[in-house]
């Protein structure tokens, strides 16, 4: 028997945004969890067939874990309750229990603070899924088990790691510790209105698209009537994790190596990238200021008010049923130096205070297995972290939404090879407090990126070093 408590349902765009993802300059960030139950019956049938034939799923050998334990074991695990969470888990978790004899209790978690409190108190679940800065610092502070020994002894096979995006796997490391494995992979690509391109007589976006050629496209797609813009060429997000891939495309870095105490956004490669994309708003007027556009990316694009927009695969569940035009997907424009895009950082870790570490690692393996990735794709439309499952995810979505059948959804999966997580500085709050207003000055007020960043970054770096020194002093 698998026990689930009642989960919160946040199916609306605003509800999903309540996950607390932050955005510079006041722009709203849409949470990664958005979607409806997708073709779950088909997957349930596939699962039933696998169980009936005794096939092991997710790399867990039936009965192996339970056989090594005299008394029945109950594991607790927590993750954010996305839409269709209960339905998905009612298919997924019984498979693990059938194979192992381990009882699993699902406990939804909706904020990181309460989970941190439980970890400190010794009452956290055995397996935890979260994202970003909080997950990183749990790993850094030893609140999550280092998975490296399990990788070294083959419990977590090398073939499993090779099935994930390399940048995402690397992002789940802190101080040499592999503290988590990916729940799903969210990469950013360019959504575009293929009908708008046809009307403008433009070729579709593709691998040949560069920054400069994209600017030319955005200018031709921007339509003005009586000094009013009726269609913007591009919608620009400029929060830190989005800025990061523009900087990397121009050959810049956010910090040197793993030195999170040194921000490099004042270096020429970074300021040049910031300036180029800010100019789309302030110089060329092909992307709107906040005051000019209150629809946001998703609604603006779906309503045909924006012809192109860079956003993640997590938005497909909203975009595909909402747009009335032919949808196109392309890689982000190639930068002057490299390609880069965002890899989300939602992952599973094992709580270091668990009393059943080996069994919890087996549950973690199952939760990141191909089967688990398939079910999240089916029920929640999430792009699989496993490359081996990506085509199945894309094919299912294209079957369901005819207007997207010309869209190259596999672009999201192909981008995995150069995807990287957003930066996490040694003091994220200090970084946010200084960089968000700086980005607003550049993108909204039209100030020089070089001048702004050279005035802000030295102060930020001093605070980052102070934060590390204060933590080191407190540990003595």
Q: Could you tell me if residue 347 is inside a domain?
A: no
Per-residue pLDDT of 77-117, as tens digits, reads 999 999 999 999 999 999 999 999 999 999 999 999 999 99
In a domain? residue 220: yes
Task: For residue 161, give its domain range.
Answer: 3-183+356-384
If asked whether residues 74 and 97 sit together in one domain, one would say yes
pLDDT confidence band for 70 (50 / 70 / 90): low
User: Do 239 and 285 belong to one domain?
Assistant: yes
pLDDT tens track for 297-306:
999 999 999 9
- pLDDT value of residue 59: 47
Is residue 47 pLDDT above 90, yes or no?
A: no
Residue 351 main-chain phi, psi, to 5 deg: -60, 130
Question: Is 351 a member of any domain?
Answer: no
Same domain, 263 and 372: no
Question: Residue 218's domain is classified under what CATH number?
Answer: 3.40.190.10
The residues, any chain, with a CB within 8 Å of residue 12's CB and separated by 6 or more, are none
Total number of domains in the chain: 2
Does 244 fall in a domain? Answer: yes
Same domain, 161 and 208: no
Residues 63, 141: one domain? yes
**Same domain (yes/no): 208, 91:** no
Least reliable range by pLDDT among 8-12, 342-346, 368-372: 8-12
Residue 432 has a pLDDT of 95
Per residue in 355-390, pLDDT (tens digit) is 999 999 999 999 999 999 999 999 999 999 999 999
pLDDT at 65 over 80: no
What is the distance of C-alpha 469 from the center of its chain? 31
Same domain, residue pair 148 and 212: no
Residue 416 maps to a domain:
no
The set of residues, in sequence order, having a beta carbon less than 8 Å from that of 430 and lying 6+ positions away, is: 460, 463, 464, 467
Residues 58 and 141 in one domain: yes
pLDDT digits (tens, 9 = 90+) for 34-46: 333 333 333 344 4
Clarify whether residues 129 and 24 are in a common domain: yes
Q: Is the dihedral of CA 63, 69, 70, 72 positive or negative?
A: negative
pLDDT of residue 474: 61
Quote the tokens at residue 77: 């695990």
Task: Locate all alpha helices (DSSP H) within 254-408, ordered by sequence.
Answer: 268-282, 296-302, 316-322, 357-367, 370-380, 390-400
Q: What confidence score (pLDDT) does residue 72 get?
A: 86
Residue 141 burial by Cβ neighbours in a 10 Å radius (0-12, 13-18, 19+): middle
Helix residue ranges, H only, 5-131: 13-17, 40-52, 64-67, 85-100, 112-121
pLDDT in tens, 257-281: 989 999 999 999 999 999 999 999 9
Say if strands 188-193 and 308-312 run parallel, antiparallel, or are unpaired.
antiparallel
What pLDDT was estimated at residue 392?
93
- Model-level pTM? 0.85
CA distance 406 to 398: 8
**Structural domain contains residue 401:** no
- Does 49 score more than 50 pLDDT? no
Question: What per-residue confidence (pLDDT) applies to 355?
Answer: 97
Handedness of CA 438, 442, 445, 451 (dihedral sign): positive
Q: Are residues 329 and 441 in the same domain?
A: yes
Q: From residue 344, give the alpha-carbon distance in Å to each of 2, 42, 79, 132, 264.
A: 29, 28, 15, 8, 21
Is the residue at 399 inside a domain?
Answer: no
404 domain-assigned: no
Q: Are residues 137 and 242 in the same domain?
A: no
- Specify whether 429 is located in the same domain as 465: yes
């Amino acid at each position: 028997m698998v026990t689930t408590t009642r989960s919160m349902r946040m199916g609306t765009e605003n509800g999903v945004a309540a996950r607390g993802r932050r955005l510079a300059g006041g722009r709203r960030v849409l949470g990664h969890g958005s979607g409806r139950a997708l073709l779950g019956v088909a997957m349930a049938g596939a699962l039933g067939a696998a169980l009936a034939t005794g096939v092991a799923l997710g790399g867990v050998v039936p009965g192996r874990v339970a056989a090594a334990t005299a008394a029945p074991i109950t594991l607790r695990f927590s993750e954010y309750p996305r839409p269709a969470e209960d339905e998905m888990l009612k298919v997924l978790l019984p498979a693990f229990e059938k194979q192992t004899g381990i009882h699993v209790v699902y406990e939804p978690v909706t904020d990181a603070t309460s989970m941190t409190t439980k970890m400190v108190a010794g009452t956290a679940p055995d397996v935890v899924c979260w994202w970003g800065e909080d997950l990183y610092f749990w790993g850094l502070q030893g609140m999550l088990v280092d998975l490296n020994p399990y990788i070294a002894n083959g419990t977590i096979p090398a073939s499993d790691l090779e099935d994930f995006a390399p940048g995402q796997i690397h992002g789940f490391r802190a101080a040499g510790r592999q503290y988590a494995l990916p729940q799903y992979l969210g990469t950013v690509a360019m959504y575009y209105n293929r009908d708008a391109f046809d009307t403008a007589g433009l070729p579709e976006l593709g691998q040949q698209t560069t920054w400069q050629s994209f600017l030319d496209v955005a200018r031709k797609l921007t339509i003005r009537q009586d000094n009013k813009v009726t269609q913007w060429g591009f919608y620009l997000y400029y929060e830190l994790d989005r800025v990061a891939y523009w900087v990397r495309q121009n050959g810049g870095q956010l910090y040197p190596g793993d030195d999170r105490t040194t921000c490099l956004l004042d270096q020429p490669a970074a300021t040049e990238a910031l300036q180029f994309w800010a100019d789309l708003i302030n110089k060329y007027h092909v992307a709107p200021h906040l005051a000019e556009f209150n629809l946001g990316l998703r609604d603006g694009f779906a309503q045909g008010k924006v012809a192109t927009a860079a956003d993640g695969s997590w938005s497909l569940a909203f975009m595909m049923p909402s747009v009335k035009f032919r949808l196109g997907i392309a890689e982000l424009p190639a930068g002057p130096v490299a390609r880069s895009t965002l890899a989300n950082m939602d992952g599973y870790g094992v709580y270091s205070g668990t009393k059943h570490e080996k069994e919890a690692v087996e549950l973690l393996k199952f939760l990141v297995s191909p089967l688990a990735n398939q079910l999240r794709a089916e029920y929640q439309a999430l792009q699989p972290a496993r490359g081996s499952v990506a085509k199945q995810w894309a094919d299912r979505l294209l079957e369901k939404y005819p207007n997207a059948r010309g869209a190259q959804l596999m672009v999201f999966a192909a981008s995995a090879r150069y995807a990287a997580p957003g930066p996490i500085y040694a003091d994220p709050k200090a970084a946010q407090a200084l960089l968000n207003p700086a980005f607003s000055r550049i993108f909204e007020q039209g100030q020089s990126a070089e001048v702004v960043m050279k005035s802000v970054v030295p102060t930020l770096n001093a605070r980052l070093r102070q934060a590390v020194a204060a933590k080191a002093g407190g540990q003595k």
